[in-house]
A and B are shown apart, each in its own frame.
Chain A
């Protein structure tokens, strides 16, 4: 039962570089989400996706790009990383577009990103 996995676990990059964080789930869940969590704060929604090729902006989408060509993958790209994007990034998924709102989220273990 692999569940939902994020890679890399840790990433250090430099300002201006492009970096992609990966998220993979093995359940064929319809919904996937990306959150960021800054030190000592709650989670903020970046983007979410209801199905392959359907994505929507969350609270803090600026500076991020997502794609969902396959149901099981939902990569998050920082096109030109900035220091303010230093954070822990969590990916999550939940089941079934038909029962959406009653379904719980399953979270990955997170990617700790440092932008120098």
Chain B
């Protein structure tokens, strides 16, 4: 079973920020938090990952709670092309990477 829980769906308006939450209450100290997204009819693609500190890249930001039991993926200005299913995954010491159902993000024009 996946070690993370996410809302099934979220909606956003175009050009507004989106905060996608993920709970991982059983995370261990050495698990990395990875985020991927899957556009329709495509394979998943990497978005961002982190361990303890907040991370930024050209696609998004990742905010990690101090206790590491939750994290939030932040899309600063959602576009129609950001409509996808977003997955939060923990990569553990065994490198067993299990995806849950993810959050389906709808972006409204």
Contacts and interface: CB of A to CB of B under 8 A. Distances in A.
Partners in one complex: yes
Interface of A: 31, 33, 35, 41-45, 48, 50, 56, 58-59, 90, 92, 100-102, 104-110
Main secondary structure of the interface of B (DSSP, over half): loop
Given A42-B100, A42-B101, A100 B43 contact: no
Interface in B67-109: 85, 87, 91-102
A105 B87 CA distance: 13
Contacts, number: 64
Interface of B: 1-2, 30-32, 34, 36, 42-46, 49, 51, 85, 87, 91-102
Contact of A48 (B2, B85, B97): B97
Given A48-B96, A100-B95, A41 B43 contact: no
Contact of B98 (A56, A58, A104, A109): A58
Contacts of B85: 42
B30 A101 contact: yes
A84 to B, nearest CB: 19
B101 A101 contact: no
A105 B100 CA distance: 16
23 contacts: A42-B101, A43-B44, A43-B99, A44-B98, A44-B99, A45-B98, A48-B96, A50-B95, A56-B96, A59-B1, A92-B44, A100-B91, A100-B95, A101-B32, A101-B92, A101-B93, A102-B32, A102-B49, A102-B91, A105-B34, A105-B36, A107-B45, A109-B42
